[in-house]
Structure 1
Amino acid sequence: MTAPVALLSVSPAFADTKPAAQTEQKPSISELRKAVKEARQAYRAAVAAEKALQQEFDATTDPSHPLMVAVAEAKKAADDAAAAKTTADAAVTAAEAKLAEANAGEDADAKTAAEEALTDAKAAATEAAAAKTAADAKVTAAETARDDNRVAIARKIDKAQDDVKTALAAKQAAEKALADAKDEAGEPGDPEEPTDPECSDVAALAPSVSGLPSKIAAGSTVDFRLRLSNNTGRTLDEVLPFVAVGAVDKSDKDISGKLHLKSKQNGQWKSVPQDDFAGAFNDVKAGAHVDLPLRLSIDRSAPAGYGATLAIGTYGNKDETCGTGDLGVYEFTINPVGAGNSTTPAGEGNKPKPQGSASPVANSGSGNGSTDGSLAHTGSSSALPTIGLAGGAAVVLGAGAVYVVRRRKAEANS
C-alpha cells in the first residue's frame, strides 16, 4: 500500500524537468484518489480516537466510576474516624473532670479508678487520632489517584488532538493534490468526494482575563472578566467560553471543591458547570471582542494553597465551520482567612490588549455595552451542529487546573 505522503512527494514542477521515463512515475489520478480515501480514513480514525478519550475522561466524573467510588468511601471512612476522634477527645475531657473531682475528695479508691479511666481514655484518644490521620491519608491517596488518572487521560487527549491536526493536514494535502491533478487533466470533480466539516486548527480566538488577583484570601469573593477577541477575520455566529478553576492545599490535596465559579448571563449570576460552557455570544464581528463577567468565591474553610483559572473559547458557524482558541492560564495563591487580596493580577498577560478595531463589551444584562456580539441565552447552540467537537472541554480544563497548581507547588518547593 502506497502511503499518501509518498504519493504527494512528487511535485509537478520538478517532474517536468526530468526525462519522459521519469515523468511517468508521477502519481496517477487513480493512485491519488486512493491516497485521498486512505487519508480520510486516517482522519476519521484520529477523530474517533480523540472522541473515545473524551468519553473516557467524562466517565471519570461519574459517581459510579471506581476511582470516584474509592474517593467517596475514603471520605466516609475519614468522616467516621473524625467523629470517633471527637468522641474520644470528649471522653478524655470527661475523665479529666472526674479525676479532678476525685482528687478533691478523700476516697483513694475513687482517685485510682479515675486515674485509670483517664489513662484508658487518653489511650483511646491517641488510637482514634492515629486512625483519623490514616483515614485522611487514604482520602489524599484516593483523590491523588483519581486526579492522576484524569491528568493522564488529559495528556492522551492532548496528543490525540495533535494526531487529529496531523491527519487533517495530510487529508487536505491529499485532496488538493487530487484536485490539482484532475484540474490539470481537465477532469471534473468527483461527486463522491464531499468536503468533510472541519474545525480550524488556527487559534484565532484569543482569551484574556482581567481583575483576577494573584493572591486571594479564603472566605472572600472576587469579580473578574474573561475577554475573547475574534481574530478569525470573519463574523462568528456563536462563541462559547469555557472556564475552570482548580486548587490544591500545601500538602498537595485537591481542594477545588472549596472554589465556586459563577458567570453573569442575561443579568443573572449562574454557577459555571464543570462539563459545559460558561455562556454564549451570538454574531461576534471580525476584530471585535466579547466580555464575560465572572465571580470566584472561596470557602472560609479553604486552607492556604495554590489555585489556577483556565480559560478557552470555541466558536461555530451556521456553515458548520468551527474552531478553538488559545488556552489562557492564570495562577493565584490562596491565603488564610483575613489575609486580604492582592492588587497584582494573577498569571501573566491579564491586561486585555486591543484586538483590531474591537467593539464595546457585549451586553451582559447590566444595561451597558453594545449588542455587537450579543450575549445569547445559555444552552442555545441551535446553530452549531459542529460545536460538539468542543464537548467536555471544561472538564479537561478542570483537570488541567489541578495539574497546573500541582506543578506550581512542586516548583515552589524545589
Structure 2
Amino acid sequence: MRFRRILATAAVAAVTTPVALLSVTPAFADTKPATQEQPGRLTLAQLEKAAAEAQKAYDDAVLAEKEGREVLEAALADTTPLAVAATAAVKAAEEAGTAKAAADKALADAEAALTDAATPEEREAAEKAVTDAEAAAKAAGEAKTAADAEAGTALDARDDERVAAVRAYDLLKKAVEKALEDKRAADEALAEAREEEGNEDDTCVPEPELTTVVTGLPSEVVAGEWVNFRLRLTNGTEKTMDEVYPYASVHATDRSGLKDIDDLLKLQWSSASSTTWKTVDDTYYIDPVSPLEAGAHSDIKLRLKVDAKAPAGQGVAFAAGDYYNDDESCGGTPDLATYEFEIAAAAAAGTPGNTPDATPTPSATPAATPTATPTAVAPTPQGGVSDQPVNGSLANTGSSSAVPQVALVGGAALLAGAGAVFAARRRRGGSAA
C-alpha cells in the first residue's frame, strides 16, 4: 500500500553497465546512455541487474580485502628485505656505539697515564698513547655517526613500506564498506520493486495534475550568501486533496563532479504567512498543506545557503509533492522537478546582479509543470486557478514519521555506486515497511 517513485541521480561507475537516468554534473553528462534520456521508473529487470552487479562488486571487494590483509601481514613481518636490512643496520650501529665507548675509555686511560708519568721517557710514551687514542676515538665517533644515520635510513624505509601497506589495506576495507552499502541499497530497491509488483491493493497513483514549480532560484548561487525562492504546489484536479506534502532537496558537487559537497548546503523553508525559518530535514519533506482545494495553489518560501568555504561547483534542486486523503486514497507528482544551478566560490564570486533563474531540467519535469521564469512567483493565479484559501496553509504538525521518504544518493554514489538510486514513498497510516 504505497506510492513509489524510483529516480536515478548517480552514475554507477563500479559496475560493467552503469545505470544513469539523471546527470547532475557535467562530469557525467557525456556518459548518460542514449536509451535512458527520459528519467523515470527503473524496470524490475534493471533493478535485478543492478543488484547482481552490486553483489559482484561486493564479492570482489571482499576478495581484494582478503588478499590485501595477506600483503599487509607480509609487510609487517621481520623477514622482508627492508626489515632484514633495518635489523642489520641497527646491529651495526650498536656495535659502532660499543666501539666508540671503548675508544673513549682508552683515551681517558691514556690521558690519566700522561698525568701520572714520572720520567721524561714515560711522559713521551704517554703523550704518544694519548695522540693515538684521540685518533681512534675520533674515528670511532665518525663510524658511530655514519652507522646511526644508516640505521635511521633503513628503519625509515622499513616503516614507510609498512605504512604504505597499512594505508593500502585501509582503502580496501573502506571499499568493502562502500560496496556493502551499495549492495544493500540495490537489494532494498529490488525488494521494494518486487513488493510493489505483487501488491495489487496499492491505491497510491501518479497524479500529473499535482504540479510543483520552483521560481526565483538563480542560475548562479554565490557561496556564503542566502538566496530566496519559492515552491508552488498546484492542485489542477477537480477534487480537494486533504493533505499535500511538499518535497524539496538540493544536491551539489565541485566542478569535477567527483566530490560531494552536500554537507555544505543548508536549505530552509517557511510558509507564506510565517516569519520562522525551519531547516529541511533528511526526509526532505515539509509540513503538509492541509487542505489543498481543487484548482488552488499554495506557495512555500525557501532559501538556500552554500557555505562560504565551498568550492565552485554545480548543484541541482529537486521538487515534488505527495497527497493523502482522509479516505486513504493517495498519490503524487509522477516525477521530480529538477533545477540546475552553478555555485560560485565566495573568494572569486561577484555580485549575482540580474542572474537569471535556474530553469527546470526538461527531461525531469512533469509535462504539466510550467517552465520557471527568471521572476518571482506572480501574485495572480497560475494557469487560471484560484489562490489557496486561508485553510489551505501549512499544517503545524511537523514531519510525520508516516510521511513517505525519498532517498537521494549523494556525491559518493557519483563515484562508485553499485545500484540504482531509489525513492520510496509510503502511505500514511500503517503502510508496510
TM-score normalised by the chain length of structure 2: 0.46
**Higher helix content, 1 or 2:** 1
RCO greater where, 1 or 2, for CA within 8 Å and sep 6 or more? 2
